[in-house]
Amino acid sequence: MELSDACAMAEHLLEVHGLGEWSVFFDGAKRRAGICRYAERVIGLSAPLTVVHTVDEVRDTVLHEIAHALAGPRHGHDAHWRAIAVSIGCSGQRCVSPDAPTAPAAWLGVCPGGHTVERHRRPERVMTCGRCSRGFDLRHVYSWTHHGRPAVLHPNYEAELARLREGRRVVLLPVGARARVVVEGEHHGTVGRVAKRGRTSYHLEAGRVVLRVPFAWVEPVP
């Protein structure tokens, strides 16, 4: 469905159900079709999913979120929410039908045996094909493309793969652990303490300086 048509339909349905002060926005979500933000009085629709869904599927998503707005934030997907959803013409299902189209993934991994796996985010850890081997096996590691082109992978991925091929593994350090930067560059050899561990990197406190360093770029210091 065209985004402009989806927006017009959503605004109309909000008005019909007494939510004329609410508004509609689009986001880049790829794993959920809609969202209701009570504090801001807005319902959100996934742009990538809206454009591949039918009019009926988008309408159901809009009514799903309107039911949340009418039920209030304390009800989630409980019986009260479902009763409202069904009464206004929604299917009352918690999730989009598994048969509905999904947003194409940007990242495609292919193992040496030709099996594929898709990801919406750039891979950060090394993966091997579970269909070719029941356990982790570097002979079946995935090669990745991004939108069909050879991909530049996350530094954690590249460093972890290099270590694995040398027979070593990347071990995540706890907050407070001492660590040394091992990657070549300005901070090579710097020793500090892990002040914070993010999703892909450490915040390494070295004196008055705090460095943000990918997991695979440091080694533990006894």
186 within domain boundaries? yes
Q: Same domain, yes or no, for 162 and 181?
A: no
Q: Same domain, yes or no, for 187 and 149?
A: no
The count of structural domains within the chain is 3
Q: Same domain, yes or no, for 7 and 67?
A: yes
Residues 137-179: tens digit of each pLDDT: 999 999 999 988 988 888 888 888 888 888 877 778 999 999 9
Could you give phi then psi for residue 163, rounded to 5 degrees? -65, -40
DSSP notation for 12-81:
HHHHHTT-TT-EEEEE--SS-SEEEETTTTEEEEEHHHHTTS-HHHHHHHHHHHHHHHHH-TT-TTSHHH
Q: Same domain, yes or no, for 22 and 54?
A: yes
Q: What is the pLDDT of residue 104?
A: 78
**H or E stretch covering 209:** strand 209-214
133 within domain boundaries? yes
Structure tokens at 109: 């991994």
Q: What is the pLDDT of residue 50?
A: 94
Q: What is the pLDDT of residue 162?
A: 86
- Is this model's pTM higher than 0.75 or not? no
- Count of C-beta atoms within a 10 Å radius of residue 74: 9
d(CA 74, CA 68): 9
201 within domain boundaries? yes
Amino acid at 76: G
60 within domain boundaries? yes
Q: Same domain, yes or no, for 34 and 79?
A: yes
171 within domain boundaries? no
Domain hosting 135: range is 107-166
Q: What is the pLDDT of residue 204?
A: 95
Q: Same domain, yes or no, for 154 and 190?
A: no
Residues 47-58: tens digit of each pLDDT: 989 999 999 999
131 near 137, Cβ under 8 Å?
Answer: no
208 within domain boundaries? yes
Q: What is the pLDDT of residue 61?
A: 96
The residue among 125, 146, 166 that closes a domain is 166
Q: Same domain, yes or no, for 24 and 83?
A: yes
Q: What is the pLDDT of residue 106?
A: 86
Residues 175-191: tens digit of each pLDDT: 999 999 988 888 999 99
Structure tokens at 132: 């070719």
Q: What is the pLDDT of residue 152?
A: 87
Residue 125: left (phi > 0), alpha (psi -120 to 50), or beta? beta
Q: What is the pLDDT of residue 183?
A: 83
The residue among 40, 56, 88 that closes a domain is 88
Q: What is the pLDDT of residue 166?
A: 87
Residue 206 CB partners (closer than 8 Å, separation 6+) = 187, 190, 191, 192, 193
- Count of C-beta atoms within a 10 Å radius of residue 42: 16
Whether the pLDDT of residue 123 is over 80: the answer is: yes
99 within domain boundaries? no
Q: Same domain, yes or no, for 152 and 207?
A: no
The residue among 40, 60, 88 that closes a domain is 88
111 within domain boundaries? yes
Q: pLDDT category, 192, cuts 50, 70, 90?
A: very high
Residues 60-119: tens digit of each pLDDT: 999 999 999 999 999 999 999 999 999 999 999 988 777 777 877 889 999 999 999 988
d(CA 128, CA 152): 18
